[in-house]
Amino acid sequence: MSPQIFRHASHNIKLSVAPKRSYAKVVNAPAAQKLKVNADRLCRRSVETQWHHLGQDGRDWFKDQVQSLGAKTYTVNKTGSQFATFDGENSGLPPIAMGSYLDSVATGGKFDGPLGVIGALEAFKSMKEHGIKTYAPIALINWTNEEGARFFPPLGSSVVYAGEKDVSAAFQSKANDGSGETTGAALESIGYVGDGPNTFQEWPISAHFEIHVEQQRRLEEAGKSVGWVEGWQGIDYYEMTFTGVDGHANTYDMRGRRDSLIGASNVMLDLQHLALAHGGITTVTNIQSGPIGACNIQSWTKVVFCVANVSNERLAAMGQEILARAEAEAKQSGLGYSVENVIDFPAGKFWPEAVDCVRRACGDRGIGADTWTVHDSSMTTRLCPTAMVFARAKDGVSHNPKEWTSKEDCAESALVLGRAVLNYDQLLREKSA
Amino acid sequence: MSPQIFRHASHNIKLSVAPKRSYAKVVNAPAAQKLKVNADRLCRRSVETQWHHLGQDGRDWFKDQVQSLGAKTYTVNKTGSQFATFDGENSGLPPIAMGSYLDSVATGGKFDGPLGVIGALEAFKSMKEHGIKTYAPIALINWTNEEGARFFPPLGSSVVYAGEKDVSAAFQSKANDGSGETTGAALESIGYVGDGPNTFQEWPISAHFEIHVEQQRRLEEAGKSVGWVEGWQGIDYYEMTFTGVDGHANTYDMRGRRDSLIGASNVMLDLQHLALAHGGITTVTNIQSGPIGACNIQSWTKVVFCVANVSNERLAAMGQEILARAEAEAKQSGLGYSVENVIDFPAGKFWPEAVDCVRRACGDRGIGADTWTVHDSSMTTRLCPTAMVFARAKDGVSHNPKEWTSKEDCAESALVLGRAVLNYDQLLREKSA
């Protein structure tokens, strides 16, 4: 895994101060008020298809869609992300982007990721159908490998866009399964390595808006279809390696052993208690152990886990406590121990002016919420005004085939996305005037 | 993994009653008394080479050796085992075999396995050099995949020889790493799939003798070079699968989760305590968990572990208790649970008349001992008189590059092997007379 790609990310985050105005009195931009979306068209696609991670089908479909909508430019970049642009009145401005991803996790449903792209396409089609011409150009984006499902790290393409990782490193990033396969090879095999722009510097956008299913229950509990996302909780990933001593599984006295898997098991259980004690979350997302064989004491075990907390202070405390615990366990069990903080993604807030555009679009059908994970928008927010729209998710389930968002909520989220973009477009128009 | 390949194995074991005679007064056969071995020649090979599991080099070397010794027959069978025979006075008798294996585990040393074959070659060469002509023919055997290091199960070829597994199933047995590679494909790639005999029925032997390093400290503690092996402890392997519920690693509330890896961790730790409480041994030899990805709660975890005990009653009790514990853990954690007893190998004793041949050959340089694991001899003993010679192993270390047996002890074990064979040969001669 690539070291420290998100480390010190907090230093780069541009936090704006919330504007001191009464939200209640602000309404949507005139164009936003006019927008409607086609729920049937939107949901036909959402429920028909599940695209596989780094698969060709979804990308081909996206390409067809944006080309048939008359995209002015369509490009694919080195990490397979697809960018399409459409003219606005002022073609000198960078486009307002609506972006998300079609790649889903292997065990995922049809909404986590795809709804963001399908909803963006629906919002844009509806603008055209309602004769709405934006001031700024519009961009539609299908980001690659947001999930990190097959290849590490997550946000595999937007991390390059944000200048946090070199494009060659992202291209060569390795498969999580230890097979040695690379993102680049997988993209080449489906014909999706292009020469389009890789970074914000090469291809700036004015703002980035994204729909995502909530993945929690706050909208459901509040009886709301949608939400404006104010920020995200902090997430750290650690890769711990315990090394023991090789020996015969049947003959070696248990009392003298240095079994790395047993040490790791102790730490994996301790993790659970520590995370709960700190009001946070932890998950062991990957374990590999060896030597592979029928008769070997395990002499190396690698464990990758995340810890997450809405508070950066508590996140840091969780990490310190867990690392201290792991080190003590290793010492007590006579194991070698190393740890790498492979992702350090502090909690942060989206841009208030962008969040406000979403909030006004939600109106009383929405509430404010934080996301408990990170998204491509958590990368673009380092560069330009960014905000997200949440769509209500049944039982908060995601990364599971049971993931579900109703037709009405999908449509509502697409409408909010379109209105938020039009609200932001209005800000740009006013700023230029 | 193949189900139940060794299950009910105990029903097939032919146990003989120990002969009622005074061991102390019995000496070696005249030919055995005459035998010496060449320690330098033997140990040059032992310390020079480590052969890799299912590798070509060791097999080529064995073939050259037996052919240059003038083998009457040399064959390779479907699972890659090499059999060579040499005439005795009575060519109508099945040969007395000296067999072991050159395949080592990936993390192994140069003695566990190879010493058995190199020692057998040395013993046979020395017989020739000392003008000793046996009554029965002699066979030299290099068994395939005793360790189960790359392919499951262990004793991968002798299990076929003993009629416990079909040769096609053994040929198609899968790699432990989940790659889907098969024993057959690996053997084909090195040119070691032959049409030689696969079973005892096709190619019977009169007896089987084998040198193995002890893998424990009893010889060392007793200050003895060698040992006669009286039996082996019982070993069961279980493959447990826990199934949970897929979900997002960062967003899903920890309290509602069904995380298969956490359930498995609890059971892996319980295993340690239960095994110690029963005076037995346990090792988790393999863990695999998924889905593979950066953001997934683990929804399936497979754990393969062995339990071993010198007492079959305690072995059964350990198994029952562990399975009950795992089932309770699964229930408590809301996990699906299944278990398969993939190897059921009860403790047993070698043939007293064969053990006696080894014991006489050891004289006062040896002690009696049990092996704590199973060997190809644990398969041949189901078919014909079988016994083993232990060579003292430094610190009881095996499956580790630090594995070590001194030159003197290697030579002593080869001498004991040769003498034991000659003692047994004398029994056959007397029986025929």
Express each pLDDT in B200-251 by its tens digit: 999 999 999 999 999 989 999 999 999 999 999 999 999 999 999 999 999 9
CATH number for A341: 3.30.70.360
The nearest CA of chain A is from the CA of B351 a distance in Å of: 22
Residue A20 pLDDT > 80: no
Nearest by CB to B250, from A177, A306, A396: name it: A306
pLDDT for res B51: 65
CA–centroid distance for A108 within its chain: 14
The nearest CA of chain A is from the CA of B389 a distance in Å of: 16
* Same domain for A179 and A92: yes
* Same domain for B161 and B290: no
Residue B31 main-chain phi, psi, to 5 deg:
-60, -40
Express each pLDDT in A288-337 by its tens digit: 999 988 899 999 999 999 999 999 999 999 999 999 999 999 999 999 99
A297 lies in some domain: yes
Nearest by CB to A293, from B251, B285, B397: name it: B285
- Over range A232-250, report the average pLDDT: 95
- Helices B407-432 & B114-129 angle (0-180, nearest 10): 60
Q: In whole angstroms, what is the distance from residue A117 CA to residue B81 CA? A: 58
Nearest by CB to B250, from A153, A297, A308: name it: A308
* Same domain for A270 and A248: yes
* Same domain for A244 and A172: no
Residue B18 pLDDT > 60: no
Residue A12 pLDDT > 80: no
Burial class (CB in 10 A: 0-12, 13-18, 19+), B11: exposed
How many distinct structural domains can be found in chain B?
A: 2
* Same domain for B171 and B94: yes
Residue A63 pLDDT > 50: yes
pLDDT-based confidence at residue B39 (cuts at 50, 70, 90) = very high
B77 lies in some domain: yes
Burial class (CB in 10 A: 0-12, 13-18, 19+), A423: buried
Residue B17 pLDDT > 60: no
Nearest by CB to B293, from A112, A148, A295: name it: A148
Which residue range is the domain that position B194 belongs to? 19-232+349-432
Mean pLDDT of chain A: 90
* Same domain for B180 and B204: yes
pLDDT for res B402: 87
pLDDT-based confidence at residue A423 (cuts at 50, 70, 90) = very high
The number of CA neighbours under 13 Å toward the Cβ of A402 is 8
Burial B124-162 (b: 16+ CB within 10 A, else e): bbbbeeeebebbbbbbbbbbbbbbbbbbbbbbbbbbbbb
Q: Check CB contact under 8 Å for A105 and B154.
A: no
Of B220, B295, B372, B402, which to mutate for an interface test with A (greatest number of A Cβ within 10 Å)?
A: B295
* Same domain for A221 and A102: yes
* Same domain for A160 and A111: yes
* Same domain for A340 and A193: no
pLDDT for res A260: 98
Q: Which residues pair with B240 in a beta bridge?
A: B303, B339
Any chain B CB within 8 A of the CB of A150? yes
Give ipTM to 2 decimals: 0.87
**Percent of chain B whose pLDDT exceeds 70:** 92
Last residue of a domain, one of B345, B368, B403: B345
Residue A133 pLDDT > 90: yes
Residue B380 pLDDT > 90: yes
The residue with tokens 């003197």 is: B408
Q: In whole angstroms, what is the distance from residue A197 CA to residue A202 CA? A: 6
Q: Which residues pair with A34 in a beta bridge?
A: none
pLDDT for res B179: 85
pLDDT for res B47: 61
Any chain A CB within 8 A of the CB of B103? no
Q: Check CB contact under 8 Å for A106 and B262.
A: no
Q: Among candidates A168, A66, A55, which has minimal Cα distance to A117? A: A66
**Which residues on A lie below 8 Å from B276 (Cβ)?**
254
Q: Check CB contact under 8 Å for B294 and A237.
A: yes
How is residue A36 written in tokens?
Answer: 């409607």
Residue A4 pLDDT > 80: no
- Over range A18-47, report the average pLDDT: 75
pLDDT for res B10: 36
Express each pLDDT in A68-115 by its tens digit: 999 999 999 999 999 999 999 999 999 999 999 998 887 777 888 899
Any chain B CB within 8 A of the CB of A40? no
The nearest CA of chain A is from the CA of B253 a distance in Å of: 7
pLDDT for res B255: 87
B10 lies in some domain: no
Extended beta strands in B175-309, E state:
207-213, 226-232, 234-243, 281-290, 300-309
pLDDT-based confidence at residue B19 (cuts at 50, 70, 90) = very low
Residue B6 pLDDT > 70: no
Q: How many residues does chain B have?
A: 433
Of B248, B261, B392, B397, which to mutate for an interface test with A (greatest number of A Cβ within 10 Å)?
A: B248
pLDDT-based confidence at residue A1 (cuts at 50, 70, 90) = very low
Burial class (CB in 10 A: 0-12, 13-18, 19+), B310: middle
Q: How many residues does chain A have?
A: 433
Assess contact for A307 and A279: CB atoms under 8 A.
no
Q: In whole angstroms, what is the distance from residue B224 CA to residue A25 CA? A: 94
A320 lies in some domain: yes
Last residue of a domain, one of B345, B379, B414: B345
The nearest CA of chain B is from the CA of A361 a distance in Å of: 25
A14 lies in some domain: no
pLDDT for res B46: 66
Q: In whole angstroms, what is the distance from residue B230 CA to residue B244 CA? A: 45
* Same domain for A211 and A147: yes
Express each pLDDT in B295-354 by its tens digit: 999 999 999 999 999 999 999 999 999 999 999 999 999 999 999 999 999 999 999 999
CATH number for B74: 3.40.630.10
Any chain B CB within 8 A of the CB of A277? no
Residue B100 main-chain phi, psi, to 5 deg:
-165, -150
The residue with tokens 């699968």 is: B241
A5 lies in some domain: no
Cβ contacts below 8 Å, chain A against chain B, sum to: 232
Express each pLDDT in B169-180 by its tens digit: 999 999 888 888
* Same domain for A337 and A189: no
**Percent of chain A whose pLDDT exceeds 90:** 78
**Alpha-carbon distances, residue B64 vs A222, B84, B102, B121, B194 (angstroms):** 80, 11, 14, 11, 16
Any chain A CB within 8 A of the CB of B269? yes
Between positions 77 and 96 of B, the ones with CB within 8 A of A are none
* Same domain for B243 and B224: no
pLDDT-based confidence at residue B150 (cuts at 50, 70, 90) = confident
Q: In whole angstroms, what is the distance from residue A167 CA to residue A144 CA? A: 13
A409 lies in some domain: yes
A11 lies in some domain: no
The nearest CA of chain A is from the CA of B21 a distance in Å of: 32
**Percent of chain B whose pLDDT exceeds 90:** 78
What spatial distance separates the first Cα and last Cα of chain B, rounded to whole Å? 48
Last residue of a domain, one of B307, B327, B345: B345
Q: Check CB contact under 8 Å for B251 and A398.
A: yes
CA–centroid distance for A68 within its chain: 28
The nearest CA of chain B is from the CA of A198 a distance in Å of: 23
Of B183, B246, B273, B404, which to mutate for an interface test with A (greatest number of A Cβ within 10 Å)?
A: B246
Any chain A CB within 8 A of the CB of B332? no
The nearest CA of chain B is from the CA of A147 a distance in Å of: 7
Any chain A CB within 8 A of the CB of B275? yes
